[in-house]
Amino acid sequence: MGVIFLTLYIDLIGFSIIFPLVPDILQHYLGLEGSTGLLGSAVAATEWIAGLIGKDSNFAAVLLGGVLSSLYALLQFVFAPFWGAMSDQRGRRHVLTLTVAGTALSYVLWVVSGSFWLFVFARLLGGIFGGNISVATAAVADVTTREERAKAMGLVGAAFGLGLVTGPAIGAATAQINLLDHAPALARFGLHPFSVPALLSLVLSVINLLWIRARFDETLKAENRTDATAKIRLRHPLRAAAEIHSPAARRVNFIGFTFALAFCAMEFSLTFLGAERFGFTAAGNGIMLAYLGFWSILTQGMIVRRLLKKRSEISVLTTGLILATVGFALVGLSPNVPTLYVGLAILALGAGFVNPATSGLISLYSDANEQGRALGVFRSLGSLARAVTPIAAGVVFWIVSGTAVFGAAAALALGAWYIARTLPPPQK
């Protein structure tokens, strides 16, 4: 478990380093390429949409950033079940080695992406190989008993949360170092003002690759592997979700997807809400996100693991969905900063219950030889939620209000709770 935790943590630091940099990266390429080429076409399209709904060019820039994030998540949506199914057949270690190497290649391209089209290609390549989290999650299922499964998934969530808190902070710090200020001639090799964060992501991926090769022993037993002669191919993820053998697992996938829509809408809108309603600057938003991350790590790393010793996964899931509903509503209606922070704590607590409970239930409802595929579908649906919400939540936020976004998120969480009440107890 320690090896898997560190694998996930290193992977997610490298993955999330870019998060706070996207607006500045877009501004860099706009200044470099102006209205020409791929970027010019993208900006013209988003400005047309912004004008259509009566918004300015600042909204166009936000919308373009959302489109880039959506493309990355869409590729994860397509490839997560593929990597999961491959790991069911060929083993977790083999697929993790392959995907981390592919991720490292995407960072090499980012280091030298002197043009916008190369930067986009690097992000798309990263999206293809970024569906490997499901493989590491399946490895957790391989090495834990059914009784311990959901508690172990909490550790996965803690690694996820810790990486997503650490990465953006490192990205913001390293972005202050511009190699071109010291050696302008490096521009001829494609280096740019954000090559240092890209280099750090590359170094972390190489370290992760070496760590997997040295310490990650194969977790999937030969008797639990799928037919070695079966052909593995890309399939429509929604069709793969519908073909999962267990009806209960399919229901949990729907619950997880519904909650992911709500949570991703919150993630995308939260900083805009902070700026619009409370006048938060980048520093204020950074503190708010760190606070949210702290509660997420505390919940999934400690609280939920202890709670699952006393209560069932279904009980933890339904409690988490009710807490999240209250948290979404409090944040959306918050008249002052203290209420906002109380709402965020309740929301993080609820989400920290929901995430390990859903992944644990998916694993428990699925056969031993389809853990990778089942968890791959689960992660894939989460990526689909991240693909559609940046644009949808952004449009609702600016056309209607931030309160409407959080109200819709609360309604989705409440709907997921209603379905979760009917889940059958998993066999252990």
> pLDDT band for position 336 (50/70/90)?
very high
> Can you state the percent helix, strand and coil of the chain, rounding each to 5?
80, 0, 20
Token reading at 72: 């990355």
Residue 428 lies in a domain: no
Which of 144, 157, 211, 159 lies closest to 371 in space, CA to CA? 144
- Is position 202 within any domain? yes
The CATH number of the domain holding residue 54 is 1.20.1250.20
Residue 226 lies in a domain: no
* Dist CA 133 CA 123 (whole Å): 17
Q: Pick from 161, 15, 67, 88: which is nearest to 377 by CA?
A: 88
Residues 6+ apart with CB under 8 A from 147: 428
Residue 415 is predicted with a pLDDT of 94
Domain membership of residue 426 (yes or no) is: no
Q: What is the pLDDT of residue 53?
A: 63
Taking the CA atoms of residue 291, residue 295, residue 300 and residue 302 in that order, the dihedral angle to the nearest 10 degrees is 120
Residue type, 302: M
Digit-coded pLDDT (tens) for 215-261: 888 888 888 787 766 666 656 667 766 667 778 888 898 999 999 99
Q: Is residue 225 part of a domain?
A: no
Question: Percent of the chain scored above 90 by pLDDT?
Answer: 22
CB 308 within 8 A of CB 396: no
Structural domains in the chain (count): 1
- The model's pTM is 0.76
Give me the phi and psi of 336, to 5 degrees please.
Answer: -150, 170
Q: What angle do CA 302, 308, 310 make, to 5 degrees?
A: 115
pLDDT digits (tens, 9 = 90+) for 348-393: 999 989 988 898 888 888 877 777 777 777 878 887 888 788 778 8
pLDDT at 66: 66
Please say whether the beta carbons of 170 and 72 come within 8 A.
no
- Residue 227: inside a domain, yes or no? no
Nearest partner of 368 among 62, 215, 145, judged by Cα: 145
Residue 125 belongs to some domain of the structure: yes
**15 — pLDDT class (breaks 50, 70, 90):** confident
- 230 falls within a domain: no
Mean pLDDT of 109-129: 89
- The DSSP call for residue 424 is P
Structure confidence at residue 268 (pLDDT):
77
Instruction: Answer yes or no: is pLDDT of 175 > 60.
Output: yes
Q: Which helix (H) or strand (E) holds 145?
A: none
pLDDT of residue 106: 92
Q: Tell me if residue 352 falls in helix, strand or coil.
A: helix
**What residues contact 181, with CB distance under 8 A and at least 6 apart?**
none
Q: 302: domain range?
A: 2-219+235-420
